[in-house]
A = this chain, B = another copy of it.
Amino acid sequence: MCSYMATLGKRAKDASRCAARLGTIEKNKGLLSVAEELLIEKDQILEENQKDLIRAEENGMKSSLLDRLKLTEERLKDMADGLRQIAALDDPIGEILSMKNRPNGLRIGQKRVPIGVVGIIYESRPNVTVDAFGLCFKTGNAVILRGGSDAIDSNKAVVRAIKAGLRKAKLSQDMILLVEDTDREIVNEMMQLHGIIDVLIPRGGKGLISNVVKNSTIPVIETGTGNCHIYVDETANINMAAEIIENAKTQRMGVCNACESLVIHENIVQQALPLIVQKLKCHGVELRGDEVVCALNNDVIPASEEDWGTEYLDAVLSVKTVKTFDEAIRHINTYNTGHSEAIITNNYQHALRFQDEVDAAAVYVNASTRFTDGFEFGFGAEIGISTQKLHARGPMGLLALTTTKYVIFGDGQIRN
């Protein structure tokens, strides 16, 4: 148990005990100090990020993933602003959620407390490093980060800046620990630190997530994969539908809340398809459709069964027609990944039924799926988007990183 990973775990556990006792003022000072330091060290960080980008390009990384990896002065500024926004948020720690007097005079309250040590395993998005630290630190948790080898130079530089910011605020630098060893075996060790790491959050592709779910003995919050649908109902406003689809598919291709599949009611497909295809063509989006769609438009390639379940993260969109509203619901509940789903409709009942019956973290009426995001939801940042049902579902902000304990005030009560 003196391995590299066990030692990191022990350091994080010790740091978490300190973190839990920090007051809001100290934590906010730390966050602002780190925000400042990120901008002070921006040239070094961008330089290190360049190394990662060059290596990734040489390895043939596709453009949507390169976009995730890339840092710019603008993005660094956004990251620092994110920390300042977190500092400005109310500190949820210590809040008593409800305090009730029981008939026997016991006062029972539920107090919000830090989880302890949060472990995050992620791929090549260095902005996660800063967001994760900010949210974990504000909620009194220590964090162990295991980023992808693709982003190792960026992550090292970012963590160096965070630690410098903490040091300047006279805080323990162990509040954030980066697993610098990129050996895959280390991840397996990390997933077995039950009792040391209190929760493990994987952020990345399907393979990463299912590996963690299968092999971790630590409780896991599943995040991520988004096979998001937009359903164009019979009564949809076609212009609105086309604009929302264009936005949800093309505003940023490589992200989990991008639209990957259209479902269109047969009675509107003939009218709606030309406008949708026209908008998407400008962005070079390839369409893969069922027979009805292919018959209506020569640009559409026939879709295979596999397409309905695929998260492309790229300029591809599947298109399926349905004969009824119920068929749309069934199709979406069969192939979705529990992330974000939207209906475009003017039918009141369909709007409500879609929200009731589609099983996903975020269900939209007449809006783009791209809004599923901690910033857009007003949380100040996000630690990931949970696609599972326990503890947290949808974009996770500060509250997802807290737990509660019951505090009971008595004056000698015994149970009868």
Return chain B residues, CB-CB under 8 Å to A408. 362-365, 367, 371
| Docked-complex contact B219 and A217, CB < 8 angstroms | no
Q: Mark A343-387, 1 if CB is under 8 A from B, else 0.
A: 000000001000110011111111110111000111000000000
Return chain B residues, CB-CB under 8 Å to A370. 414-415
- Chain A 42-56 interface residues, beta-carbon cutoff 8 Å to B: none
* A-side interface size class: 35 or more
How many copies of this chain does one complex carry? 2
Query: Chain A: interface secondary structure?
Result: mixed
Q: Mark A391-412, 1 if CB is under 8 A from B, else 0.
A: 1011100000001111111111
Asked if A25 is an interface residue, CB under 8 A from chain B, the answer is: no
Return chain B residues, CB-CB under 8 Å to A108. 377-378
> A365 with B410: in contact, given A217-B213, A415-B371 (CB under 8 Å)?
yes
Stretch at the interface among A175-183, A239-247, A300-308: A239-247
A191 to chain B, nearest CB (A): 12
| Docked-complex contact A378 and B412, CB < 8 angstroms | no
| Docked-complex contact A219 and B367, CB < 8 angstroms | no
Return chain B residues, CB-CB under 8 Å to A371. 106, 408, 413, 415
| Docked-complex contact B363 and A413, CB < 8 angstroms | no
| Docked-complex contact A217 and B214, CB < 8 angstroms | yes
| Docked-complex contact A219 and B388, CB < 8 angstroms | yes
Chain B, residue nearest A409 (CB): B365
Asked if A251 is an interface residue, CB under 8 A from chain B, the answer is: yes
Return chain B residues, CB-CB under 8 Å to A198. 389-390
Chain B, residue nearest A416 (CB): B251
Partner of A394, one of B356, B372, B405: B405
Return chain B residues, CB-CB under 8 Å to A237. 412
> Considering residues A220, A364, A408, which has the most beta carbons from chain B within 10 angstroms of its beta carbon?
A408
Asked if A199 is an interface residue, CB under 8 A from chain B, the answer is: yes
| Docked-complex contact B414 and A247, CB < 8 angstroms | yes
Chain B, residue nearest A105 (CB): B367
**Which A residues lie at the B interface, using CB under 8 A?**
21, 100, 102, 106, 108, 110-111, 115-116, 194, 198-199, 213-214, 217, 219-221, 237, 240, 243-244, 246-248, 251, 351, 355-356, 359-368, 370-372, 376-378, 388-391, 393-395, 403-415
A-B contact pairs, 15 of them (CB 8 A): A106-B367, A111-B355, A116-B389, A198-B389, A219-B220, A244-B414, A359-B405, A361-B406, A363-B407, A363-B408, A366-B411, A366-B413, A393-B403, A393-B406, A394-B405
